[in-house]
Structure 1
Amino acid sequence: MWPTLVYFLLAISCAVSIDEYENVINERHDLLQRELDMMLGNEITFSDSEIKANEIVMHLKAKELDRAYRSPYAYNFTRHFFEYKDAVKQSPLYEIIKKMPKGAILHAHDVGLLSPDYVLNMTYWDNLYVCFEEDNMQLIFSDKTPKVTCGTQWQLLRDARYTSIDVEEFDAELRKHFTLLVDEPHEVYFDVNSAWNRFQQYFITTGPMFCYKLAWEQYFYDTLKAVREDNVMYIEIRSTLPPLYDLNGEVYDSIATAESYKKVVDQFVKDYPDFYGAKLIYAPMRLVDAATVKEYIKIAKEIKRRMPDFFAGFDLVGQEDLGTPTKEFLSELVAAKDELDYFFHAGETNWNGMSSDENLFDVIALETRRIGHAFALVKHPLLLEEVKKRGIALEVNVISNVVLKLVGDVRNHPLATFLAQNVPVVLSSDDPGVWEADPLSHDFFITFMGVASRHADLKLLKQLALNSLYFSTIKDKDRVVHEFEIRWTKFIDSLVRDKW
């Protein structure tokens, strides 16, 4: 009898365990699916061709990620961007993303988009003077020796180059001033401030050279060309609008600088009708007093009056941790918010409860249309809900956040949370030329392979591209989105046809 009773009890026990097991399995599957359904891009429905293309993309993605999961050291994105920026170009997925239509760039700064090689080539222009001062230098165009103070002596850069012992070595040393790239980034950039100091020095060094009117216009024209070649169809450019100058001694104010921008855009669209243009966000420095911000706002209003179709809105830029908090300018900004659209930088910091991350409260209260970076937003659950409720897009710049020391391992970037919760996100690149990245492809690839879930697929990539158009200030969005869909379909068809 006892053996029979034991077998009976075991049978009951096993039967219950199997039912419980199946219930847990079903609930696990349900929970996973519900979470995946929350992800950015979940509302997109694939066509038959997109299904086939997605199988190709996801096969390549799984192959790379599974190899990295088994051998974490082989996973590039745990390292500094400078250590793998060229290696990722060997990935078939990078090549696919490079060819993919990516919509628009909505967060980029004027003279930070082109490579140090481009800047170095500009130093071959005539009439460029250089002043070497210890570790830094000054560069300025002039038809005669500049009157600007120089700690050593001004000389034509052409003469300095060709009287050097080795021209190739001279250029290699010169190039170092035009990039943040170094061999040992963790040693050179040991904290946020050290990275920002070097970053700001780039603009201090190159600024007087770029402010030569012909150089400024050529740089912007070639920026648009590089953006277009990276399969981007539109850009909103942020600029401090510095005064420009020419060799005749004439100086052009900020309004004229904005007009110079518009002239270049008009010419570029005429030369390349498949590009949908650019708009300006006037973004002067935030490390100023309220009276200066009041003057900034006057300039912004005048630009909008003269160029309403070109002017997008207003921002304040610079390192938030050391800059003036936005709350110090609330009176001036509130007074202008019915006349100007705001696209504020905010929360570009690792701090919590400090003035820099609390800028997020101010810009949301000021009804900003988008938030630049918003890195600290994940620490503010109420504000995160407000962003979703109000449809405020976050302009996320993953590589910039790595280079400027906010995050080391991109798997820990708050963008992962934003994507998982379907927060309005647009991917941008900030100043890709300064860290030798492509205008947008690097940021898309690293987001897809390093930040987003392994389950994230072409729906995510397509939604990110579409978001950049939906949250832009383009007037005829329906027409531009329609053109994007045409380009996307051609991309998908080529992907399937080439059988990656």
Structure 2
Amino acid sequence: MRLLIVLSIIFAHGACDIADYYAKRAKLAEAENLLTVGGNYPLDHKETIVNRCLMQHKYRELDYAFDNPQYFNCSHHFFVYKNKMRESKVYKIIKNMPKGAALHVHDMALLGPDYVMNLTYMDNLYFCFKPDPVLSGNHLFLQFANQLPNKTCDTWQLISDARRDAKNVTEFDFNLRKHFTLVVDDPDTAYPAITDTWDAFMNYFTTIIPLVTYRPVWEQYFYDALKKYREDNLMYIEVRSVLPNLYELDGSTYDQIVTAKSYKKVLSRFIKDYPDFEGAKIIFAPSRYVGNAELDAYIETARSLKNQVPEIFAGFDLVGQEDKGKPLIDFVPKLLQANDLNFFFHAGETDWYGTQTDGNLYDAILLGTKRIGHAYALTKHPLLMKEVVEKDIGLEINLISNSVLSLVKDLRNHPLNTYVANGMPVVLSSDDPGAWEAEPASDDFYVAFVGASSRLSDLSLLKALGENSLKYSALEPTRKAAALRKLNFQWKRFIDNFDCSKY
């Protein structure tokens, strides 16, 4: 009898301990979830119905990948799965979802190779090839002109003539298109190291620049880019631009202020045609491969932009491969004197730790940057992570860019998962989607949701990311508030019209 009493006490105590353990575990998990981006966004009844459909499809995808990891898209190179990804039901839901703003995109890679190929059917476009000293094969040079160009090449020819004389026009265009994209069938072989990827990336820009800076092309290109971004359910963008000198058929060129004013002119026309679009701003972002004299000229240009086109001027940045470019520390004396400008610095776009490259994060923060471009190395700097939270500095995350440009292969290892888990001020963008044939926003939202956030992250995360993209924009406070109201209206319409059976 005594033994039975003792055993009952033991089992009762054990059951109590187990129940207490599970309760503590559940409390920890709940508290941790509340810390995440969107973790404190309660879903209403209609949002809960949408979320149930979304998560059903997400769980199905991820559970299959968990059991068959070799087929998990986001563990491979983007070029391998980008087309297959778009068949996903999760992707299709995200595609139809309002996504707010793109705050980190570059002007020369807003649109993809198919659009660029159409430009090669325009009149007065000359081309030539010269051996490329860096990449195997030849480099393509392009120039719009009303007569044979007399620079760079001795073998200029009108593309229209070459296409007419080609034995196989389809093959001619197929080979020409390769120069307008980084996408290849076997990226691991084509780009074995980051230097190979960046060499091809820089080659892409030197090819594209003379094609799109012909003034009529430039203006139509930007208009069509705005249209494509709107079609991907974005309502506002901030474009980093080197402000290239535009030119005419006779070879005459314009200064950078004229380029900025062309942005303003096109934007006004676009908003007149599509009044639901909130707008765009430019971040003047010249090369970081310069000395202090060139930096002085950059700052002077930025101040001229601020004075002459204040409606569209957002601020200043320096761009280029950080590992090879000048670190911000070299420019600190000059930049401290330019505190009348808003900074949006690229910083920490590197795999390295303890170098001048990830050291850019210190200077970007101390210089008062409003946002940090990429911030890939930030997780290696815990005190700087605290500074980012305390100063509410937006982190411009570009997952596909980081994958394509050889920083990370498996997106489960991307630092975004840490930023999301800690509820940090994250905004998603797409960097140079035209160069790798990505959508303006949907592709990055999908890989963030499926590949670089928790399996349990749900509609609340997507909603928060959309709102963050406007919260951390360079819009003036009243416009920002209006844009957030517009986004909330679009979100409500998306929720109200959602039909799970369509997916």
- TM-score with structure 1 length normalisation? 0.97
Whether 1:144 and 2:147 are equivalent positions in the alignment is yes
| SS in structure 2 at match of 1:454 | coil
Whether 1:24 and 2:25 are equivalent positions in the alignment is no
Alignment of 1:62-461 (within 5 A): 62-134=59-131, 135-150=138-153, 152-337=154-339, 339-461=340-462
Paired residue total: 495
Give the distance between the partners of 1:281 and 1:188, measured in 2 at CA: 32
Q: What's 1:484 paired with?
A: 487
| SS in structure 1 at match of 2:141 | strand
Alignment root-mean-square deviation, CA: 1.3
Note the C-alpha offset of 1:220: 0.7
Give the distance between the partners of 1:201 and 1:8, measured in 2 at CA: 82
| SS in structure 2 at match of 1:268 | helix
Q: What's 2:498 paired with?
A: 495
Note the C-alpha offset of 1:27: 1.3
Give the distance between the partners of 1:469 and 1:190, measured in 2 at CA: 37
Give the distance between the partners of 2:88 and 2:251, measured in 1 at CA: 50
Note the C-alpha offset of 1:18: 2.0
Give the distance between the partners of 1:59 and 1:486, measured in 2 at CA: 25
Note the C-alpha offset of 1:249: 2.6
Question: 2:231 corresponds to which letter in structure 1?
Answer: E
Whether 1:36 and 2:37 are equivalent positions in the alignment is no
Note the C-alpha offset of 1:11: 4.1
Cα distance per residue 1:362-391 (max 9 Å; x no partner): 010000000000000011000000000000
Note the C-alpha offset of 1:43: 2.3
Per mean C-alpha deviation after superposition, the further-off stretch among 487-496 and 295-304 is 487-496
Note the C-alpha offset of 1:60: 1.2
Q: What are structure 1's unaligned runs of at least 5 residues?
A: none
Give the distance between the partners of 2:40 and 2:26, measured in 1 at CA: 19
Give the distance between the partners of 1:293 and 1:6, measured in 2 at CA: 86
Give the distance between the partners of 2:480 and 2:243, measured in 1 at CA: 27
Question: 2:399 corresponds to which letter in structure 1?
Answer: V
| SS in structure 1 at match of 2:483 | helix
Give the distance between the partners of 2:194 and 2:395, measured in 1 at CA: 22
Question: 1:31 corresponds to which letter in structure 2?
Answer: L
Cα distance per residue 1:315-369 (max 9 Å; x no partner): 00000000001111111110011x1000000000000010000000001000000
Note the C-alpha offset of 1:52: 1.1
Note the C-alpha offset of 1:13: 3.8
Give the distance between the partners of 2:2 and 2:356, measured in 1 at CA: 71
Give the distance between the partners of 1:91 and 1:484, measured in 2 at CA: 25
Give the distance between the partners of 1:421 and 1:141, measured in 2 at CA: 50
8 Å CA contact 1:283, 1:314 repeated in 2: yes
State the identity %.
49
Q: 1:149 to 1:106 in 2, by over 3 A?
A: same
- TM-score with structure 2 length normalisation? 0.96
Note the C-alpha offset of 1:6: 5.9
Q: 1:258 to 1:497 in 2, by over 3 A?
A: same
Question: 1:442 corresponds to which letter in structure 2?
Answer: D
Q: What are structure 2's unaligned runs of at least 5 residues?
A: 132-137
Cα distance per residue 1:31-66 (max 9 Å; x no partner): 111110101012222221111111111111111111
8 Å CA contact 2:113, 2:177 repeated in 1: yes
Note the C-alpha offset of 1:497: 7.2
Question: 2:129 corresponds to which letter in structure 1?
Answer: F
Question: 1:489 corresponds to which letter in structure 2?
Answer: K
| SS in structure 1 at match of 2:102 | strand
8 Å CA contact 1:347, 1:374 repeated in 2: yes
Give the distance between the partners of 1:276 and 1:83, measured in 2 at CA: 35
Note the C-alpha offset of 1:169: 0.5
8 Å CA contact 1:49, 1:496 repeated in 2: no
Question: 1:248 corresponds to which letter in structure 2?
Answer: D
Give the distance between the partners of 2:7 and 2:45, measured in 1 at CA: 50
